[in-house]
Amino acid sequence: MKKYVSRLPIVGKTFLRADYVVLALHVEANLLREIRPGQFVQLKAEHTSSVFLRRPISIHFVDVEREQMWLLIHIIGEGTEALAQCEVGQTLDCLFPLGNGFTMPAQAGRQMLLIGGGVGLAPMLGYGAALAAQGHTVTFLLGGRRDVDILQYDEFCKYGEVCITTEYGSMGERGFVTQHTVLAQRRFDHIAACGPKPMMVAVARYAAAHDIDCEVSLENMMACGLGACLCCVEHTVKGNVCVCTEGPVFNIKQLNWQL
Amino acid sequence: MAQLAVNIGALSLKNPVMTASGTFGYGYEFADFVDLNRLGGFIVKGTTLRPREGNDYPRMAETTGGMLNCVGLQNKGVDYFCRHIYPRLVDYDTNVLVNVSGSSPEDYAACAERIAALEHIPAIELNISCPNVRDGGMAFGVTTEGAASVVKAVRKAYHKTLIVKLSPNVTSITDIARAVEAEGADAVSLINTLMGMSVDIERRQSRLSIGTGGLSGPCVNPVALRMVWQVAKAVHIPIVGLGGICTAEDAIEFLMCGATAVEIGTANFLDPAVTMKVIDGINAWCDAHGVEDIHDIIGALHD
Ligand SMILES: Cc1cc2nc3c(=O)[nH]c(=O)nc-3n(C[C@H](O)[C@H](O)[C@H](O)COP(=O)(O)OP(=O)(O)OC[C@H]3O[C@@H](n4cnc5c(N)ncnc54)[C@H](O)[C@@H]3O)c2cc1C
Ligand SMILES: Cc1cc2nc3c(=O)[nH]c(=O)nc-3n(C[C@H](O)[C@H](O)[C@H](O)COP(=O)(O)O)c2cc1C
Ligand code: FES
């Protein structure tokens, strides 16, 4: 698939919280159609001298009709701060689409469980929408510390059932995602997860123990995003491979995690 | 349109802009952004006799105006390169160079010998300056004897253009440059990365898996420029200058300090199309300044 580096106009900006913002970028429909759920972009944080490298951000959602690509950004440092300060009408220097993306099931009518923790819920919206459009049954399982960590609830509800856990029980069930009752109630064919590493390891353990096919999306630190620098590697059964090109999505069978 | 072609030994470049090893993959990763045939040349990832897994993650840390890396020469080995990667490179109308590394003079020579058999690889760049592997690389590049021993061994096995890449992590880079010139190197390229470090104070841990890494990017530019200027006065062979080049102006600084060609490294990560802009920019600068031949600015620094 061809990759592009171009300046994309910001056409929408919504703060979900003081430290979470959704940016909508204008992208032509024919390019959006090439994007696979789970792919990411590399953004240049401009108007700041202390941020050197581009920042990898997942593609949150694509809206082909309105020609928009959404990014959900968690402000945790200078790069994401600078990106969040960009306004509608400005453009962002964007390298995209990067990485492999999630697998679309070959069989029809699959039961899909999409788990997102923290900002890791970002790619699940677009993935869930694509799965629902193909007739699969989508269940989202979103985890956070508190209710304010559960973002885009209404958007997720458009594409499937939304289950929630919070560590303090202020929304949904209390506990971690792997403790949610939906796991015992239903048999899922595939699980996809993105979030903090401990969460993904717990999900991977659950999936391995129950023999459910499972993909996780990794967030290794990156420089080029193109498979050229070999900085982002993950140790896999095939040796060290680049997360930016052979990932960010990996089947857990490919990873050398202690499950 | 100025005349931009230059020669490095027997190697003819259509312009002085190449890409630096380890920052441009095998070229095809950038084919969506760059017309590879417009480059003076590109230098592929460091290649060793046997496959190497490289160092553990994390291998990268961002710094002010640059980055540290400790990739550690991950590559699938020279045989894999010859069989599976080289065939994808033969149709480019540009110079494809291989960056060769090793852990003994014999290793280097054996690796160079295999590359010598590849018709479409007109030159190698000998990496005696990788700061990220314990068993070699920089170990040779930091003493005149070590550098000479590797170049001597490779020179016997390799008869095409031999560029030796120098480490800045030395007391006197001019001594090393003279030593490799004396052993028959056709050119030197400099600089490789500067050894550095970065600490995560919350974890009281280095941000890099092996503790240290190699610094690159605009922050190393003044050091690189100074070294090119010094080496240009110390040797008679051509110099390929690199270190933090991001713009045509940066490249022209290196040419004026005595480099015949330049390599662009880390800047490819910021803008994958940067090489095209640098070539166009050099052209435009020459036109604007009445420079008809790029040789008129090479080493043309006023005292
Ligand atoms: C494939 C991929 C997809 C991503 N998708 C999203 C997304 O959709 N939304 C989003 O908000 N973020 C996402 N991230 C993480 C995002 O890239 C980092 O949060 C960002 O680079 C931090 O930049 P900064 O300058 O704001 O913070 P910095 O000042 O660089 O770092 C602040 C802190 O965050 C840590 N950090 C830096 N980079 C990363 C990283 N890549 N992963 C984890 N921790 C990091 C640093 O160690 C430091 O402690 C993704 C990362 C990857 C690799
Ligand atoms: C991620 C990375 C990998 C590198 N790998 C190699 C390598 O394999 N062989 C080599 O000779 N130099 C390697 N280098 C050094 C560069 O080729 C170059 O000498 C250095 O980065 C300085 O140039 P720059 O500031 O333009 O990047 C690497 C640099 C980086 C950033
Ligand atoms: S970030 Fe450079 S290879 Fe993945």
ipTM rounded to 2 decimals = 0.95
Across the interface, of A3, A53, A220, the residue whose CB is closest to B269 is: A53
Across the interface, of A52, A225, A240, the residue whose CB is closest to B54 is: A240
Mean pLDDT of chain A: 97
Position B111, amino acid? C
pLDDT in tens, A10-28: 999 999 999 999 999 999 9
Contacts made by residues B88-93, CB under 8 angstroms, sequence distance 24+? B88/B26, B88/B28, B89/B26, B89/B27, B89/B28, B89/B44, B89/B120, B90/B119, B90/B120, B92/B27, B92/B36, B92/B37, B93/B37
Residue B303 within a domain: no
Shortest Cα distance from A229 to chain B (angstroms)? 5
CA of A52 to the centre of ligand 1 (A): 13
Is residue B44 within 8 A of residue B101, CB to CB? The reply is: no
State the pLDDT at residue B137. 59
State the pLDDT at residue B140. 86
Residues of B with a catalytic annotation lie at 130
- How many structural domains comprise chain B? 1
Asked if B270 lies within 8 A of A44 by C-beta distance, the reply is: yes
CA of A83 to the centre of ligand 3 (A): 21
CATH number of the domain to which B200 belongs: 3.20.20.70
Q: Tell me the mean pLDDT per 10 residues along chain A, length 259.
A: 96 97 98 97 91 97 98 97 97 98 96 97 98 98 95 98 95 95 95 97 97 97 98 96 98 95
B30 touches A at CB < 8 Å = yes
> Scanning every residue of chain A, which has its alpha carbon at the shortest distance from the alpha carbon of B73?
A230
Position B169, amino acid? N
Which stretches in chain B have pLDDT values below 70? 131-132, 134-138
Residue B130 within a domain: yes
Residue B302 within a domain: no
State the pLDDT at residue A141. 98
Asked whether A233 lines ligand 3 (CB < 6 A), one says no
A4, A184, B57, B191 from A210: Cα distances, Å:
40, 11, 30, 53
Distance of CA B278 to the CA centre of its chain: 17
Mean pLDDT of chain B: 96
Equal fold, A4-98 vs A111-254: no
Above pLDDT 70, what percent of chain A? Answer: 100
∠ Cα A42 A45 A49 (to 5°): 140
Listed by start position, the domains of chain A span: 4-98, 111-254
| Protein residue closest via CA to atom 27 of ligand 1 | A77
Q: Which residues of A touch B (CB under 8 A)?
A: 2-5, 44, 50-54, 95, 220-235, 239-240
What are the residues whose beta carbons fall under 8 Å from the beta carbon of B178, sequence distance 6 or more? B144, B234, B235
Is residue A33 within 8 A of residue A64, CB to CB? The reply is: yes
CA of A174 to the centre of ligand 1 (A): 27
Beta bridge partners of B45: none
Residue B1 within a domain: no
Helix (H, G, I), strand (E, B) or coil at A81: helix
Substitution candidate for ligand 2 out of B19, B23, B64, B150 with most atoms within 8 A of CB: B23
Residue B268 within a domain: yes
Beta bridge partners of B271: none
State the pLDDT at residue B131. 67
Query: How many alpha carbons lie under 13 Å from residue B109 in its C-beta half-sphere?
Result: 13
User: d(Cα A154, Cα A144) in Å, to the nearest integer?
Assistant: 16
Tokens representing B176? 């090393």
User: d(Cα B38, Cα B30) in Å, to the nearest integer?
Assistant: 13
Tokens representing A155? 């958007």
Tokens representing B14? 């259509």
Atom in ligand 2 nearest the alpha carbon of residue B165 = 11
Residue B26 within a domain: yes
Substitution candidate for ligand 2 out of B193, B268, B269, B278 with most atoms within 8 A of CB: B193
The domain defined by A4-98 folds into Elongation Factor Tu (Ef-tu); domain 3 (2.40.30)
pLDDT in tens, A37-79: 999 999 999 988 889 999 999 999 999 999 999 999 999 999 9
CA neighbor of A165 nearest in space, from A186, A181, A185, A152: A181
The pTM assigned to this predicted structure is: 0.96
Q: Which residue has the tokens 């291989």?
A: B98
Atom in ligand 1 nearest the alpha carbon of residue B207 = 47
The domain defined by A111-254 folds into Rossmann fold (3.40.50)
CA of B65 to the centre of ligand 1 (A): 18
